[in-house]
A and B are shown apart, each in its own frame.
Chain A
């Protein structure tokens, strides 16, 4: 037999597969919204173009870079723990969490500015705009809002994983929880990859 023996039954393969199956439900969740977006953009092309001018492309770009970088540090943390480098793995997950906070801070300023300008769901200013623009901002708030909720959930999962790494529950031999947390985090990144050009880059 091999040198490593297991007392506890486990199936990392099945665990990862379960995570992937869950991610497909997320694809359908966000996918449905992307279809709604596509249909409304198709009907209200001009309004979508006008409304998109109101968004801050710089903040959107900054958040894109933040999420892409956080995805890299997340992926690297798995390499670190596979190599048995516990401290580096913890550091990389914490850096990922800090990037997530950075993302949320930007989101806070972005939304605050919009709300300050009277653009929020149901606001008198927004309701006075043409139908297409109301739909655009409705979708903007719902889709980026649901995405931001995923960021918050992701951070919570990552905090748990810092603890697992710290206590040695996750180690060079058993790291499927970190892998699954990573999969979730990359999904958050994937969704943003589509949200960014579709909402911020319509010129």
Chain B
């Protein structure tokens, strides 16, 4: 992993990294999340037709990315964790794709 100022711990195979995220960074991310929530709520009031839901989902995805990478420390984890998450999300995307594919042909 990235920086290991403290190379103190050794678990079985891996050097246990001890990445400390400062309080200020969390506060900053929290403010960003609140701002995005504000945008979602105000954007919902504007009539954008079918784009309203697209916008809501895009904002929700950005918020998720912030939570995943910073709050859940994914940014500081090994690459394998990130690959796992992408594979899981891809699997879910395939579910969505085939459900709608199936549905649009059945109707």
Contacts and interface: CB of A to CB of B under 8 A. Distances in A.
B30 A72 contact: yes
B44 A76 contact: no
A76 B40 contact: no
A72 B27 contact: yes
Contact of A11 (B12, B21, B81): B12
Q: How large is the interface on A (under 10, 10 to 19, 20 to 34, 35 or more residues)?
A: 35 or more
Given A20-B84, A65-B37, A75 B9 contact: no
Main secondary structure of the interface of A (DSSP, over half): helix
Main secondary structure of the interface of B (DSSP, over half): helix
Interface residues of B, number: 55
Interface stretch (A109-117, A123-131, A163-171, A190-198): A190-198
Contact of B10 (A6, A16, A182): A6
Nearest to A41: B53
B88 to A, nearest CB: 4
A80 to B, nearest CB: 8
B71 A71 contact: yes
Contacts of A75: 21, 26, 70-71
Contacts of B33: 68
Interface string A14-34: 101100110010011001100
Q: Which of A20, A21, A42, A68 has the most CB of B within 10 A?
A: A68
Nearest to A60: B41
